[in-house]
Amino acid sequence: MTRGGTMFALLALITSPVCAATLSGVPRILDGNTIEIEQTTVRLWGIEAPETDQICLDARGRKWACGVAARDQLIKHSNGQTWACQTQRLDEYGRALGSCLIDGEDVNVWMVRSGWALSAGVTQHRYVVHELVASTNYAGLWSGAFIAPWDWRSRNRATIIIGANSVPIEAQEVLLGSIPLSEPPSPECLIKGTHRSGERIYHLPLQPGYEQINMTDKRGERWLCSEAEAQATGWRKAAR
């Protein structure tokens, strides 16, 4: 098959309605908008939670691991309950895009309304009212200052920092002082993700060369909290 034919086939797979499915079970929560359920990785559609390596500022201007907190709040809210998810298609990493319910409650809505995710993508209007409620109540991320998750992934000195209240004058220096984070955001997030020849490669603490990887060398490097999270977002384990 030609390269053009391969790309066409991949596009057809991603957009095909045959990817639609109804899933049910107790999920494994990988981050604030990614779960595993019935051996399927599902990306909550239409919302963006902070990356697990993301750092925000609280109401007093102090740094906190908001990405890990968003994931943990979803785990707490789930509390081992059964989810029902409806998926529609696959994203670029092969994750099923969908929305989920816990006992009839829309999880996507709960994440945005509680301030742990933003309304995003082509469906942004669907959750924008819930985002307004969260910002008005200074809930979750809106309690302080933060970078939108899609901007965090490609942040630079010109990246905009947002918040429901006034953004501290030193917010840019604190959040963007070292654009790749030299230290993990949480003691549990020790996996190093690096880019090599256009590939996303992750390195575990006990692998050879792990200690020699400087996480401030280049953009695109990030800390990951689990192998499942890494693999679900397109990272491949280093061979050595």
Helices (H) and strands (E) in the chain, counts: 7, 15
Give percent of the chain with pLDDT exceeding 70. 89
Please report the domains of the chain, with CATH numbers, ordered by start residue: 3-177 (2.40.50.90), 180-240 (no CATH)
What confidence score (pLDDT) does residue 23 get?
96
What is the tens place of the pLDDT at every residue in 35-92?
A: 999 999 999 999 999 999 999 999 888 899 999 999 999 999 999 999 999 998 898 8
Pairing outcome for strands 40-44 and 96-102: parallel
Computed over every residue of the chain, the mean pLDDT equals 87
Residue ranges of alpha helices (H) inside 38-178 are 66-78, 107-113, 124-136, 149-152, 171-176
What is the tens place of the pLDDT at every residue in 21-38?
A: 899 999 999 999 999 999
Cα separation of 123 and 121, whole Å?
5
Q: pLDDT band at residue 16, thresholds of 50, 70 and 90?
A: very low
What confidence score (pLDDT) does residue 2 get?
43
Residue 155 neighbours by CB under 8 Å, 6+ apart: 147, 176, 179
Model pTM? 0.84
> Mean pLDDT throughout 187-201?
90
Cα separation of 76 and 113, whole Å?
16
